[in-house]
């Protein structure tokens, strides 16, 4: 998958269109149904995605203008905005998703080339502005799955699934609570290693299923373990 922010913007637009297609079928009862995230309804997930787009607008604006701006006013404010938006009618959710996605697109279009190398402060730490487009794509694709409305890891674009898998494994390699394992995907041609390779179990399967399992979005039903045994227990993602 490309790392060019402008090219990656097309992936975000396509992903957002798929999300909007899913959101358009929800009525109020569907929005009140549980998502895959503990304590969150589908309405919570959609409200989060809309406010997340606006948060990235804040960061892109900071990169473009040079004036520091937080992604969210505060953790408490972020949580309150999601809670307040969760119970809205279906048409209000859909309109909010569309408008926030448009604002994100406008903020990307307004970025001069030199601003993409600016470092901004996210809740997870400093990031170069060019990385924000990937971050938004990851939010949309992962939380689309969290809606529990038919979008599966197998539906992720191949480039997205591979990049997510590599990113998660890179993070796990720095964590002392991550179990050692060898991950093999796309047959046996590619593998990634977490921890000490010697004696580590080999977990094999499609890249999307490996990534979904590692981030707690799948049980790993299509994965195999060699030598035979239970799947390792990866730590909580993010």
Per residue in 154-206, pLDDT (tens digit) is 999 999 999 999 999 999 999 999 999 999 997 767 899 999 999 999 999 99
pLDDT at 3: 72
| pLDDT value, residue 187 | 76
CATH number for 158-226: choose from 3.40.830.10, 3.30.1050.20, 3.40.50.150, 3.30.70.20.
3.30.1050.20
The answer regarding whether domain 5-151 maps to CATH 3.90.420.10 reads no
In angstroms, the CA 130 to CA 95 distance is 27
pLDDT at 2: 65
Helices (H), the chain: 5-23, 28-32, 42-65, 75-86, 90-109, 132-146, 158-172, 207-214
The Cα 109–Cα 51 span in angstroms is 19
> Could you identify the residue written with the tokens 């957002």?
16
What per-residue confidence (pLDDT) applies to 231? 97
Q: What is the mean pLDDT of residues 65-73?
A: 95
Write out pLDDT tens, residues 1-36: 667 888 899 999 999 999 999 999 999 999 999 999
Task: List, in sequence order, every residue forming a beta bridge with 119; answer none if it has no partner.
Answer: 128
SS3 62: helix
pLDDT at residue 1 in the model: 64
Residue 38 has a pLDDT of 96
Listed in order, the ranges of the chain carrying CATH 1.20.120.450 are 5-151
Q: Which two tokens stand for residue 62?
A: 């900071």
Hey, what are 82's tokens? 């999601």
| Mean pLDDT (the chain, rounded) | 95
What is the tens place of the pLDDT at every residue in 133-150? 999 999 999 999 999 999
Mean pLDDT confidence for 72-94:
96
User: Exposure of 181 by Cβ count < 10 A (0-12 exposed, 13-18 middle, 19+ buried)?
Assistant: buried
Asked if pLDDT for residue 238 goes beyond 90, the answer is no
**Which residue intervals of the chain bear CATH 3.30.1050.20?**
158-226
pTM beyond cutoff 0.75:
yes
For residue 190, the model assigns a pLDDT of: 84
């Amino acid at each position: 998958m490309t790392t060019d922010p402008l090219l990656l913007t097309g992936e975000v637009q396509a992903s957002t269109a798929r999300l909007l297609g899913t959101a358009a079928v929800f009525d109020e009862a569907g929005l009140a149904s549980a998502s895959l995230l503990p304590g969150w309804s589908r309405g919570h997930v959609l409200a989060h995605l809309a406010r997340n787009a606006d948060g990235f607008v804040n960061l892109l604006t900071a990169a473009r203008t040079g004036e520091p701006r937080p992604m969210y006013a505060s953790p408490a404010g972020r949580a309150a905005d999601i809670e307040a938006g969760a119970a809205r009618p279906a048409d209000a959710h859909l309109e909010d998703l569309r408008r926030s996605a448009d604002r994100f697109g406008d903020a990307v279009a307004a970025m001069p080339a030199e601003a993409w190398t600016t470092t901004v402060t996210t809740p997870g730490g400093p990031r170069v502005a060019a990385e924000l487009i990937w971050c938004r794509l990851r939010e949309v694709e992962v939380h689309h799955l969290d809606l529990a409305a038919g979008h599966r890891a197998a539906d992720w674009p191949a480039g997205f699934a591979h990049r997510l898998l590599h990113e998660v494994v890179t993070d796990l390699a720095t964590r002392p609570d991550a179990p050692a394992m060898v991950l093999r995907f796309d047959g046996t041609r590619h593998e990634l290693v977490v921890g000490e390779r010697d004696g580590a179990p080999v977990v094999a399967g499609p890249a999307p299923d490996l990534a979904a399992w590692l981030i707690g979005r799948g049980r790993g039903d299509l994965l195999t373990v060699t030598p035979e045994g239970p799947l390792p227990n990866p730590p909580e993602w993010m």
